[in-house]
Structure 1
Amino acid sequence: MADSPLELIQHIAPGEPTLPAYARLPVNHCNYPAIILGSLTFQRYPEAIFLDNVATFHQTLFNRLDKIEAPADRAMAFETYMQASFLLSAPEEAGYQQTERASGAVNAVRQNNKKARHKADYRRLLRGWLFDSDSREAAVMKGWVESRFGLLARNHKGPLRDFESEIYFNYTQERSAGLYNTNSLESQLDLLYSYCQYELHQRFPDRRHYKLYRATNRLDEYDTLFQGSKTRSAVILNNLTSFSSSLEQCDSFGDTLLQCQVPFSKILFFPDLLPGAFRCESEYIVLGGLYQVSKISI
Structure 2
Amino acid sequence: METHKASLPRDARLPINRCNLPAVVLGSLTFQRYPTPLLLDGVAELHRDLFRRLADAAPGERGNVFRDYVTVLFQLEWPEEMGLTGKQKGRAKANYVRMIRGWSFDSDSREGAVLKGWVESRFGLMPRWHGQPLLDPAGEAYSRYMEMRCQGLYGTSALEAQFDLVYTYCQYELAQRHPGASHVTLYRGVNRVADHEILQRGEGGHYTILLNNLNSFTCSRERACEFGDYILAVDIPLSKIFFYCGLLPGVLQGEDEFLVVGGVVDVTLSTT
Q: 1:93: which partner in 2?
A: 81
Measured at CA, do residues 156 and 218 of structure 1 come closer, stay the same or move farther in structure 2, by a change above 3 Å? farther
Measured at CA, do residues 14 and 248 of structure 1 come closer, stay the same or move farther in structure 2, by a change above 3 Å? closer
Q: 1:260: which partner in 2?
A: 234
Measured at CA, do residues 118 and 233 of structure 1 come closer, stay the same or move farther in structure 2, by a change above 3 Å? same
The one of 107, 128, 134 aligned to 2:102? 128
Is the aligned partner of 1:82 residue 2:70?
A: yes
Determine if contact 2:223/2:255 at 8 Å carries over to the other structure.
no
User: 1:270: Cα distance to partner?
Assistant: 1.0
Larger radius of gyration: 1
Question: Which ranges of structure 2 fall in alignment gaps of 5 or more residues?
Answer: none
User: 1:256: Cα distance to partner?
Assistant: 2.2
Select between 213-222 and 76-85 the one with higher mean Cα deviation.
213-222
Q: 1:64: which partner in 2?
A: 53
Q: C-alpha separation between the residues in 2 aligned to 1:224 and 1:59?
A: 42
What does 1:265-280 align with in structure 2 at a 5 Å threshold? 265-280=239-254
Q: 2:181: which partner in 1?
A: 207
User: 1:280: Cα distance to partner?
Assistant: 2.5
Q: 2:220: which partner in 1?
A: 246
User: 1:26: Cα distance to partner?
Assistant: 0.5
User: 1:118: Cα distance to partner?
Assistant: 2.6
Which aligned runs of 4 or more in structure 1 are off by greater than 6 angstroms? none
Counterpart residue type for residue 120 of structure 2: E
User: 1:15: Cα distance to partner?
Assistant: 4.5
The one of 116, 128, 131 aligned to 1:154? 128
Q: 2:41: which partner in 1?
A: 52
Q: C-alpha separation between the residues in 2 aligned to 1:86 and 1:64?
A: 17
Question: Which ranges of structure 1 fall in alignment gaps of 5 or more residues?
Answer: 1-12, 99-111
User: 1:119: Cα distance to partner?
Assistant: 1.9
Q: Quick one: percent identity of the two aligned structures?
A: 48
Q: C-alpha separation between the residues in 2 aligned to 1:296 and 1:188?
A: 37
Select between 115-124 and 261-270 the one with higher mean Cα deviation.
115-124
Q: C-alpha separation between the residues in 1 aligned to 2:71 and 2:4?
A: 49
Determine if contact 2:210/2:262 at 8 Å carries over to the other structure.
yes
Count of paired positions: 271
Counterpart residue type for residue 92 of structure 1: E
**When the two structures are superposed, what TM-score results if normalisation uses the length of structure 2?**
0.95
Determine if contact 2:101/2:251 at 8 Å carries over to the other structure.
no
User: 1:97: Cα distance to partner?
Assistant: 4.0
User: 1:173: Cα distance to partner?
Assistant: 0.5
